[in-house]
């Protein structure tokens, strides 16, 4: 498994716990919003910042559909 995929697993689990979601709920959200690819696209940013900032950024993307200006 690549380091990016390991990080994606971490990100999904961290997001699930931070938002109090069940496994099926977070899986559905990530699938519906394309969040797995979003996290992978932002891997180099997310793996060096606070996981809480990642959660906030994912929430902003879910709400607005806008990607961060990198």
pLDDT in tens, 26-42: 999 999 999 999 999 99
> Does residue 67 have a pLDDT over 90?
no
Please give the Cα distance from 67 to 42 (Å, whole number): 10
Query: Which pair of tokens denotes residue 33?
Result: 């919003």
Residue 65 region by backbone torsions, left for phi larger than 0, else alpha for psi between -120 and 50, else beta: left
Please give the Cα distance from 22 to 69 (Å, whole number): 30
| Domain definitions of the chain by residue range | 3-63
Please give the Cα distance from 1 to 15 (Å, whole number): 20
Question: Residue 65: what pLDDT?
Answer: 83
Of 13-27, 39-53, 55-69, least confident by mean pLDDT is 55-69
69 pLDDT tier (thresholds 50, 70, 90): low
pTM over 0.75: yes
């Amino acid at each position: 498994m690549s380091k990016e995929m390991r990080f994606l697993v971490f990100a999904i689990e961290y997001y699930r716990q931070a938002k109090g979601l069940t496994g099926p709920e977070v899986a559905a959200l990530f699938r519906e919003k394309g969040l797995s690819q979003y996290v992978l696209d932002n891997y180099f940013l997310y793996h060096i910042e606070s996981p809480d900032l990642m959660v906030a950024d994912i929430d902003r993307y879910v709400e607005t559909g806008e990607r961060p200006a990198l």
